[in-house]
Amino acid sequence: MVDLFLILLILLVLIFSVWISSVLFGAPFQPSSNKELREIIELTKAKKKDRIADLGSGNGKIVIEFAKHGVEAHGYEINPLLVWISRRKIKNLGLQKKAFIHGGNFMNANLSKFNIITSFQISYIMPGLERKLKKELKPGSKVISNTWKFPDWKPRKKLGHVYLYVKN
């Protein structure tokens, strides 16, 4: 009986953490569809030498897909439950040498070591994210945004709801 109570309590705490972190710290979790994932992969034209960062990596879907293609992929996720879920998936798939999930706010991360960035954020985050990426990324770096456009940066290409930007 105590074990069941403890399990239920942990589950409630985890559910509450998902809700509170999205309210306080960023966009609510909404995974990219399989169609959007294919469009992201197509737009990046990623090669094995690339280094990718997925900002707000959620359940790790994008990170895992790139790692399956042999590309080093890092996810940044603020929600501890989603970090845990992603890390378990990566371990279960044996992708620990190519896929990495970092807990915390991606706005505090140095993104200069990545040449491809993927993101599925929300409108009010886009202006600050645009400034950060323009400041930190090297020329030629690719930025993929699912659904949301940057306010001043013009996309080079669009597939469905997925936009490709390239840093000048």
- Within 8 A by CB and 6+ apart from 113, the residues are 51
Distance, CA of 131 to CA of 153 (rounded, Å): 10
Helix (H) or strand (E) holding 130: helix 126-136
What is the pLDDT at residue 43?
97
Could you give the 3-state DSSP secondary structure of residue 36?
helix
pLDDT on residue 160: 94
**Residue ranges of E strands in 104-156:** 116-119, 142-146
pTM for this one?
0.84
Q: Do 22 and 144 contact (CB within 8 A), yes or no?
A: no
The parent domain of residue 8 ranges over: 2-166
Domain count, the chain: 1
Give the per-residue pLDDT at 59.
94
CA Rg, the chain, in Å?
A: 16
pLDDT of residue 15: 66
Q: In the beta sheet, which residues pair with residue 158?
A: 163
Predicted local confidence at residue 163, as pLDDT:
98
**Helix axes of 61-68 and 34-44: crossing angle, nearest 10 degrees:** 50
In this prediction, residue 106 carries a pLDDT of 96
Which CATH number is 36's domain given? 3.40.50.150
- pLDDT truncated to tens, each residue of the chain (168 aa)? 667 877 777 777 666 665 555 555 556 777 888 999 999 999 999 999 999 999 999 999 999 999 999 999 999 999 998 999 999 999 999 999 999 999 999 999 999 999 999 999 989 999 999 999 999 999 999 999 999 999 999 999 999 999 999 999
Q: What pLDDT is stored for residue 14 in this prediction?
A: 65
C-beta of residue 162 within 8 angstroms of C-beta of residue 48? no
Structure tokens at 90: 């990566």
The SS3 of residue 137 is coil
CA angle 157, 74, 49 (to 5 degrees): 70
